[in-house]
Amino acid sequence: MKKQFIKVVLSCAVVAGGFTVTSCKNSGSSKNVSRATGWKINAKEGGFQYNTDFKEQETAPGLVFIEGGTFTKGKVQDDVMHDWNNTPTSQHVQSFYMDETEVTNVMYLEYLDYLKSVYPPENPKYTNIYTGALPDTLVWRNRLGFNETMTNNYLRHPAYAEYPVVGVNWVQATQFAEWRTDRVNEIMLEREGYLAKDAKYQAATGEVPGTFSTEAYLNRPESVYNGQIDSLQGKQKKDSVNVYAKRSSGVIMPEYRLPTETEWEYAAQANQGNREYNNYRGRKKYPWDGDYTRNGQRVGRGDQLANFKQGKGDYGGIAGWSDDGADITAQVMSYKPNDLGLYDMAGNVAEWVADVYRPIVDDEVSDFNYYRGNIYMKTAIGEDGKVNVLRDSIVYDTLPNGKIVAVNLPGEIAMVPIGEEETYLRTNFSSSDNRGYRDGDPGSSRFYDRFNDEDEDTEIKMYDAPKHKVERDSTGKLIRQYDKSNSRTSLINDEVRVYKGGSWRDRAYWLDPAQRRYLPQYMATDYIGFRCAMSRVGSKSKTKNKTPRGKKVR
């Protein structure tokens, strides 16, 4: 290797006037020659191996690219309710991806079918995995309304296949996103030859025990598919160097997740398509241009631009005349997309976002990718010094409404909160759970010890929602312990999440992207759905066929 290095350097040397001058041409002209050392990268002889062929992030299934930028978050007009929870703030958002439409019934049914196949509910050990993911179809019922048709048909009947799924709480929505991440990465690895063709179906049908987890694959790939991944490896197995894909392979997609509130509002405003100053400063009332809910263009003039409640007892207009085409939800893509190509960012169903709700948006601390809800975790390490992969142990949680959901599934890696080793002498974070940071609570203040009381029930808090305790005994019976304290002053706590956008049940006032409401994360309704997002890695914009700034084109 030493001789090879000398050869590389000498090939650049030129003798001029008794001095040896080294040219930089060769050292930086090849992507497979290091600009740091001059050594070869990815040489057959060995040495440093790195993916120098990666171009840019691929757009994953169902998503639309959203180029990031600055915008005014919050409401600046028509504040008839005099809310103070959406004060205008200037924010910057990194580029990301977002679902073109809301998650539909057929998309969610695919998820349920997978769980039913891999974790059969007739097996007592797995029963709560499937039932915990089921949407609450009873959300359609009304004491004084006849809605049994939707209760029985809305989720599963093919007539509603492309309608947005409802009855899904925030917890279930995040678990769907986790499942979707694994399934997409599974097919990406198959396409690139790291997994054998149709390996994913063998796991889904039970031919191979266990399943695929992205984080388990990255941390302990030999544990995937219950330790039987060797029999499911693809053509890359021929190359002993590339048996398993790594993050550096560029194949593994970032996780699907719920969008942050800032991302959702930025995408709904869609300011890229309109450069008017008023819109940029946050004066855009709807996801489309204009101050009205009807189409003002020559083609389709007078048509409603979204599915919402037009008045008391008016969910769609007069039949055959001003009807908006829907009384409950509507099939996705029934209305025009906004300038970013996103459908139903106003109306149809409101949508869960990732954030914990607080009335205050603290832009003094962060005006870049603002998000309240960070809980920093790390992988759990077993006694053998390796990442702990959960086998037969399934971690369940009983939600306050009695619903049991699986927190961890077999084959996933165990996660634990970060500790002092990660927070010691840091200035950017000091604890694992940051949901309540600088939210006005005494616990966020410098003088917290002056307010704190040893008795938790009498602790002074701004956001002290009732703490009901719900659990199940060994027989499965529900044990409820209601918080009967008279000192509670709020319904807000760290399990209350934001939802955005108007729905088929809402008046036009709620169609404004800046409007924000909240609901406990374990509750579901017939008017809240969700869509997924994914972070963009690399450049802010799509860089294909672009020249880096500062470099001349020859």
Instruction: Give the tens place of pLDDT for each residue, 77-97.
Output: 666 767 778 888 999 999 999
- Is residue 163 in a domain? yes
Q: What is the mean pLDDT of residues 388-411?
A: 86
- Is residue 549 in a domain? no
- Is residue 434 in a domain? no
Residue 494, beta-bridge partner list? none
- Is residue 293 in a domain? yes
Q: Specify the number of domains making up the chain.
A: 1
pLDDT at 519: 96
Residue 520, beta-bridge partner list? 496
pLDDT above 80 for 239? no
- pTM exceeding 0.85: yes
Residue bearing the bigger pLDDT, 281 or 82: 82
pLDDT at 16: 45
- Is residue 26 in a domain? no
CATH number of the domain encompassing residue 167:
3.90.1580.10
Distance CA 260, CA 354 (A): 5
pLDDT above 50 for 307? yes
- Is residue 98 in a domain? yes
pLDDT at 268: 94
pLDDT above 80 for 524? yes
- Is residue 442 in a domain? no
pLDDT at 206: 81
pLDDT above 70 for 546? no
Output the CA–CA distances (angstroms, integers) from residue 261 to 178, 282, 363, 498, 501, in the order listed.
19, 15, 14, 7, 11
232: domain range?
A: 63-367+496-535
Closest CA to 71 of 280, 230, 301: 280
- Is residue 353 in a domain? yes
Q: What angle do CA 178, 340, 547 make, to 5 degrees?
A: 95
Exposed/middle/buried for 14, CB within 10 Å: 0-12, 13-18, 19+?
exposed
